[in-house]
């Protein structure tokens, strides 16, 4: 059934006109299977080529004909060794794919230094066929630009997934460690196909139970499934675990008993999971325990855990998503204020994990001011793949353009060209550790991600983590070819839909820099009217600040002065009404309703125009998709069509509710031609 289970690894037959050529280029497979990773590469090639070409290549020990594919490392394959392909510079995870000749026979070498590189190369080779590319004269060299490419699962031990819209957790904790759902291996294959090399199994809000022996055994069983695919397991660690499961009175990071407890815990974990990656920690944020409960700093907390992991080679990923019990004057400023003074105070095996923006995974945020501001502390990127604020699983919103926008943003911290990507890949500050995290959108739904198009976000995240300079459009095209079709008249319209979809969501939800106006708690649908409640920054009115005279959050010097957290050239641009990119207008400025925007329209008219434009885009996507009826299998076509109908309804809801509400402040009529809110 075309239920989406196979993700982008569908391996359906290639276009008829290519079959002959491809068969000739992949007629024989020379690949060892002496280790689990080698076996994984060989099995994937056999399975993939069988699906794509209708027949699997012959396995052989040597090259006996044209069209051999040789896979391996200088130590796993005498043939690869003999070819002297200079793999060394590719590092442990890199690979090359090159057209070579072996004793007069034409062949393709997939070579690496390490088995895992060869596995990545095998997936790349398959992708060439899946995307309809020629196999002649290949000369591909790839190695990841970011070392740690990790998924963060916000999965609770009871099967619930926080902000998950794809069903329950895929980790069947109750049946682990003895029952290993075959799905775990498919999960590992999908991730390895992108180069994802780490996974945090449990929610950052997890209870300490996940660190008890019973659950560590379950995690170890998963680690064993993932190991051949180059994926290391990490766990979220609750800071107060020494109290909750250790029987101590305190979790003070400077307390010797507490240190000893964590050292023992680390030892226990590494006995079960020798390649355990380390801990992810959410501390002193949204009510989670942390070092500040004892008057200690984030660095004290992170370093204590880092010391426990260091003898085993583990890493601490300490999150910078903090917001405290006290109400800040501007929530956007807190992470920077707390972390910048700690730069240089963290151990070598600590990374600080920073969300792309300073508020919270909004449809659009300016880049987080921490990027570039902590030269002595490796900062990881945290993107959200699950669409907490972007329409859950039903809205078609392709996130790669959003990731790209953040990665390309220029922090100016070391002059022009100091992009966020260069912070993350370590080149700007010479970080020894580098990493990117994506909050997973994976669940037990048959199609993994809750919708077919949400698979693209998992895919794109993985590709951009491998290479933060990849273009969102190229990634979309690859994915469409692998997932739906290689026919040009399918690829182009679908890529087109995807590429504008995020901007459309910004338009119908929060145009011009508006943010955090979603329903309280669940974050579903519009609720710009929320006021009251326990604290000011848990309301919508806190963020939009609409009054009879204008709208927007003044973050310039006359307001919260959050702009001052950016490097001076950026601060000047964001802080200046004339220069601020219009997409961030109301993020940084409070502006009168009749303010003239760059289109010439007054602000109120421009807002309405954008809301409407967002809805229109969704309507166009429906049209386009309708036109593809018969070109995509009926099962997936029908579900996407149904979800697009939901999206249109909800985009309209967003528009109408937002316009009706803000009109109570602006007191202005709708521009001519605009339909009144239903
Ligand atoms: O985005 C917010 C979510 C919380 C989440 C928190 C975080 C895991 O609404 O559900 O908790 O951020 O990132 O810690």
Supply the pLDDT for residue 325: 66
d(CA 40, CA 118): 10
| pLDDT tens per residue, range 393-448 | 999 999 999 999 999 999 999 999 999 999 999 999 999 999 999 999 999 999 99
Residues whose CB is less than 8 angstroms from the CB of residue 663 and which lie 6 or more positions away in sequence, other chains included: 670
pLDDT given at position 533: 84
Check if CATH label 3.30.379.10 holds for domain 16-142: yes
Give the burial class of 275: count Cβ atoms within 10 A of its Cβ; 0-12 exposed, 13-18 middle, 19 or more buried: middle
Instruction: Label residue 617 exposed, middle or buried (CB < 10 Å: 0-12, 13-18, 19+).
Output: buried
Cite the residue boundaries of each domain of the chain with CATH code 3.30.379.10: 16-142
**Where exactly does CATH 3.20.20.80 map onto the chain?**
148-483
User: Is 252 a catalytic site residue?
Assistant: no
Which contiguous run of DSSP H or E holds residue 144? none
What does the alpha-carbon distance between residue 540 and residue 99 come to, in Å, rounded to a whole number? Answer: 58
Residues 6+ apart with CB under 8 A from 357: 365, 366, 367, 368, 406
As for the ipTM of the complex, it is: 0.99
What is the best residue among 151, 169, 203, 205 to mutate for testing ligand 1's pocket, by most ligand atoms within 8 Å of CB? 205
Tokens of 602: 């007054």
Domain 148-483: CATH superfamily is: Glycosidases (3.20.20.80)
Burial class (CB in 10 A: 0-12, 13-18, 19+), 600: exposed
**Ligand 1 atom showing the smallest separation from residue 288 Cα:** 14
Whole-number Å distance, alpha carbon 322 to ligand 1 midpoint, is: 10
Identify which of 156, 162, 286, 318 to mutate to test ligand 1's pocket (most ligand atoms within 8 A of the CB): 286
Residue nearest to atom 13 of ligand 1 (CA): 321
Q: Which of 155, 252, 360, 605 is catalytic?
A: 360
322 and 288 Cβ atoms separated by less than 8 Å: no
- Taking CA atoms only, the protein residue closest to ligand 1 atom 7 is 321
The C-alpha atoms of residue 236 and residue 384 are separated, in whole angstroms, by 16
| Cα-to-centroid distance, 366 and ligand 1 (Å) | 19
Query: Closest ligand 1 atom, CA of 355?
Result: 13
Distance 285 CA to ligand 1 centre (A): 9
Q: Where in the chain is the domain with CATH 3.90.1330.10?
A: 508-553+590-666
Select which of 365, 388, 605, 650 is catalytic.
Answer: 388
CA-154 nearest atom, ligand 1: 8
Tell me how far the alpha carbon of residue 282 lies from the centroid of ligand 1, in angstroms.
10
How many whole angstroms separate alpha carbon 564 and alpha carbon 340? Answer: 13
Residues of the chain with pLDDT under 50: none
Q: Is 388 a catalytic residue?
A: yes
342 CA from centroid of ligand 1 (Å): 23
The CATH architecture one would assign to domain 508-553+590-666 is Alpha-Beta Complex (3.90)
Query: How far does residue 506's CA lie from ligand 1's centre (Å)?
Result: 20
> For residue 29, how far is its CA from the centre of ligand 1 (angstroms)?
47
Which residues lie with the beta carbon below 6 Å from any ligand 1 atom? 154, 162-163, 204-205, 282, 286, 321, 360-361, 388
Q: How many angstroms separate the alpha carbon of residue 594 from the centre of ligand 1? A: 36
Looking at 286, 474, 576, 629, which residue is catalytic? 286
Task: For residues 272 and 218, give the distance between their C-alpha atoms in angstroms, rounded to a whole number.
Answer: 10
DSSP 454-496: HHHHHHHHHHHHH-TT--HHHHHHHHHHHHT---HHHHHHHHH
């Amino acid at each position: 059934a075309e239920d989406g289970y196979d993700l982008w690894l569908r391996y359906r037959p290639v276009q008829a006109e290519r079959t002959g050529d491809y068969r000739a280029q992949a007629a024989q497979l020379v690949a060892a299977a002496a280790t689990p990773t080698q076996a994984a590469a060989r099995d994937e090639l056999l399975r993939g080529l069988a699906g794509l070409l209708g027949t699997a290549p012959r396995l052989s020990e040597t090259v006996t004909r044209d069209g051999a594919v040789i896979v391996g490392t200088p130590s796993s394959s005498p043939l690869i060794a003999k070819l002297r392909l200079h793999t060394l510079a590719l590092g442990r995870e890199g690979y090359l794919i090159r057209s070579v000749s072996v004793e007069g026979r034409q062949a393709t070498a997939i070579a690496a230094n390490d088995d895992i590189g060869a596995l990545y190369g095998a997936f790349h080779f398959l992708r060439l066929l899946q995307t309809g590319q020629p196999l002649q004269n290949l000369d591909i060299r790839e190695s990841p630009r970011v070392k740690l490419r990790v998924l963060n699962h916000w999965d609770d031990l009871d099967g619930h997934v926080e902000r998950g819209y794809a069903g329950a957790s895929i980790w069947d904790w109750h049946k682990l460690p003895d029952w290993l759902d075959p799905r775990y291996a498919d999960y590992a294959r999908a991730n390895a196909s992108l180069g994802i090399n780490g996974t945090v199994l449990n929610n950052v809000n997890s209870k300490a139970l996940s660190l008890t022996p019973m659950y560590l055994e379950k995690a170890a069983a998963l680690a064993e499934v993932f190991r051949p695919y180059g994926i290391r397991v990490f766990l979220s660690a609750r800071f107060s675990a020494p109290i909750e499961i250790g029987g101590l009175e305190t979790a003070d990071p400077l307390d010797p008993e507490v240190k000893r407890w964590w050292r023992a815990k680390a030892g226990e974990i590494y006995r079960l999971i020798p390649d355990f990656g380390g801990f992810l920690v959410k501390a002193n944020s949204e009510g989670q325990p942390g070092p500040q409960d004892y008057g200690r700093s984030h660095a004290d907390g992170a370093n204590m855990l880092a010391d426990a992991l260091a003898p085993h080679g583990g890493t601490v990923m300490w999150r910078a998503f903090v917001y405290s019990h006290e109400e800040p004057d501007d929530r956007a400023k807190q992470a920077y204020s707390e972390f910048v003074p700690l730069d240089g105070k963290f151990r070598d095996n600590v990374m600080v994990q920073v969300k792309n923006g300073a508020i919270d995974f909004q449809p659009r945020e300016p880049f987080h001011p921490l990027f570039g501001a902590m030269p002595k502390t490796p900062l990881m990127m945290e993107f959200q793949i699950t669409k907490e604020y972007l329409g859950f699983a039903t809205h078609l919103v392709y996130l790669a353009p959003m990731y790209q926008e953040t990665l390309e943003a220029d922090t100016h911290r070391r002059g022009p060209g100091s992009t966020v990507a260069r912070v993350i890949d370590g080149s700007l500050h010479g970080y020894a550790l580098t990493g990117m995290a994506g909050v997973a959108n994976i669940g037990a739904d048959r199609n993994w991600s809750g919708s077919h198009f949400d698979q693209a976000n998992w895919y794109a995240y993985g590709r951009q983590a491998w290479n933060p300079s990849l273009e969102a459009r190229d990634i979309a095209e690859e994915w469409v070819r692998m997932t739906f079709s290689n026919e040009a008249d399918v690829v182009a319209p679908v890529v087109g839909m995807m590429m504008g979809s995020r901007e459309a969501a910004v338009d119908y939800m929060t145009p011009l820099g508006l943010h955090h106006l979603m329903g309280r708690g669940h974050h579903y649908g519009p609720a710009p009217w929320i006021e009251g409640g326990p604290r000011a920054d848990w309301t919508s009115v806190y963020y939009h600040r609409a009054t009879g005279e204008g709208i927007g959050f003044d973050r310039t010097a006359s307001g919260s002065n959050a702009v001052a957290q950016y490097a001076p050239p950026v601060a000047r641009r964001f802080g200046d009404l004339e220069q601020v990119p219009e997409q961030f207008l109301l993020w940084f400025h409070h502006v009168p309703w009749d303010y003239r925007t760059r289109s010439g329209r007054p602000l109120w008219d421009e807002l309405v125009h954008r809301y409407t434009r967002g809805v229109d885009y969704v309507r166009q996507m429906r049209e386009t998709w309708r036109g593809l009826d018969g070109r995509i299998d009926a099962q997936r076509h029908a579900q996407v069509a149904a979800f697009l109908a939901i999206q249109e309804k909800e985009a309209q809801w967003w528009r109408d509710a937002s316009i009706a509400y803000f009109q109570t402040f602006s007191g202005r009529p709708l521009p001519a031609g605009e339909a009144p809110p239903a």
